Amino acid sequence: MQQQDEVAARVRQVIDAAGVSAREFARRIVIDPSKLSRSLNGTRRFTAAELARIADIGAVDVGWLLGSAAGAAADTDAAGLTAAGAAVTASPVRSPSAPRPPVPSPEGGRPLQIVRETVRLIAERGFHAVRVADIAAACHTSTAAIHYHFPGRDELLEAAVRWCMDEDTRRRADATAGTRHAGDELRLLIELQTPRTEQQRRQWCVWLDLWAEAARSTTVGRLHVEYYRQWRGTVADVIRRGVEQGVFRPVDADGAALALTALIDGLASQVLATEPGGQDDGVPGTGAQAMHDALTAHVDACLTAPTAD
């Protein structure tokens, strides 16, 4: 336990030196902020891959984080550290006496770059068509470096899902910040979910691929449930506030949120299937604008409170 506390203290030093919040640091090493918090509080151990990513972001040695290179197996998942070390003979774990040479780091650090490129490639090709070699080429690095940060495909997929969840949540928060009228906020959320731009289409392509993976993977399935719980909760809160403001009818907010988010998912999948390259492809009523119109019509018909004549 003492060594675990010492590791947490060193990680705190890295976070302080980075000059960012713990949440932002969690985003950069691509783990859930609650996991980082539990590890810093001593109720959860850092995994070998997480320590590798922390070392990369902080430009320190894993051995220093652990107190000594020899202490690695005692305080981390020994099997994971062995696998990571075996995969990265070009980037061995250095002792504190061998400082890391200065290497230009991508914005946000190498782990975040790997995840971003993974998400881009998933959107273009689908998860199972993306090889580690493809990701390495996109990042201008080696496959060994990819395995150093993410020893297995499962861990890389989980990191990609978490990053997509975090980005989606951040975009919603930024777009609706300062919006007080619940009706305006709900329409902003609908606009954000309508795949008009290339970025929105790419995000939806990733979600569709992850939905299929969630049916096969327990880990991704749990993340899928967590994300939709948060997303439906956001929509329900807006509807509930709209009822209080007199903007919406007195409806069951949770039920209305479930219906609206399901409608968004169904319409978005049709738009992506019939609107390649941003065109309606000759199928009337299936484009992004048709989706947006259908969603706003649903809100007007089922939620918006009637106005007095």
Q: What is the pLDDT along the chain (309 residues), one digit of tens a residue?
A: 667 788 899 999 999 998 888 888 888 888 888 889 999 998 998 888 888 888 888 888 888 888 754 343 333 343 343 344 433 333 333 333 334 443 445 556 788 889 999 999 988 888 888 899 999 999 998 999 898 888 888 788 888 888 888 888 888 888 888 889 999 999 999 999 999 888 888 889 888 887 887 777 777 788 888 889 989 999 999 999 999 999 999 999 999 999 999 999 999 999 988 755 444 445 555 689 999 999 999 999 999 998 755
**E-only strand ranges, 52-179:** none
Predicted structure pTM score: 0.70
Write down the pLDDT at residue 69: 42
How far apart CA 302 and CA 297 sit, in angstroms, is 8
Environment class of residue 203 by beta-carbon count within 10 Å: exposed (0-12), middle (13-18) or buried (19+)? buried
Indicate the residue type of 270: Q
φ/ψ of 248, rounded to 5, equals -110, 160
**CA neighbours within 13 Å on the CB side: how many for 102?**
0
How far apart CA 176 and CA 169 sit, in angstroms, is 11
**CA neighbours within 13 Å on the CB side: how many for 171?**
16
- Using alpha carbons only, what angle is made at residue 254 by residues 250 and 256, rounded to the nearest 5 degrees? 65
Write down the pLDDT at residue 96: 39
Do residues 75 and 3 make contact, with C-beta atoms less than 8 angstroms apart?
yes
Write down the pLDDT at residue 68: 56
Residue 265's nearest CA partner among 167, 195, 165, 185 is: 195
Structure tokens at 59: 């430009």
Contacts for 205 with CB less than 8 Å, ≥ 6 apart: 122, 123, 124, 272
How far apart CA 206 and CA 275 sit, in angstroms, is 16
Q: Which residues, in sequence order, are bridge partners of residue 170? A: none
Write down the pLDDT at residue 162: 84
Structure tokens at 206: 């990733």
Indicate the residue type of 227: Y
Contacts for 309 with CB less than 8 Å, ≥ 6 apart: none
Do residues 17 and 27 make contact, with C-beta atoms less than 8 angstroms apart?
no
Write down the pLDDT at residue 145: 86
Contacts for 164 with CB less than 8 Å, ≥ 6 apart: 119, 203, 206, 207, 210
How far apart CA 282 and CA 267 sit, in angstroms, is 17
Q: Per-residue pLDDT tens for 249-272?
A: 999 999 999 999 999 999 999 998
Write down the pLDDT at residue 60: 85
Which sign does the torsion angle of CA 272, 277, 279, 284 carry? Answer: negative
How far apart CA 27 and CA 36 sit, in angstroms, is 10
Structure tokens at 151: 């020893």
Do residues 134 and 122 make contact, with C-beta atoms less than 8 angstroms apart?
no
**Residue 129 DSSP class:** G
How far apart CA 93 and CA 9 sit, in angstroms, is 20
Write down the pLDDT at residue 234: 94
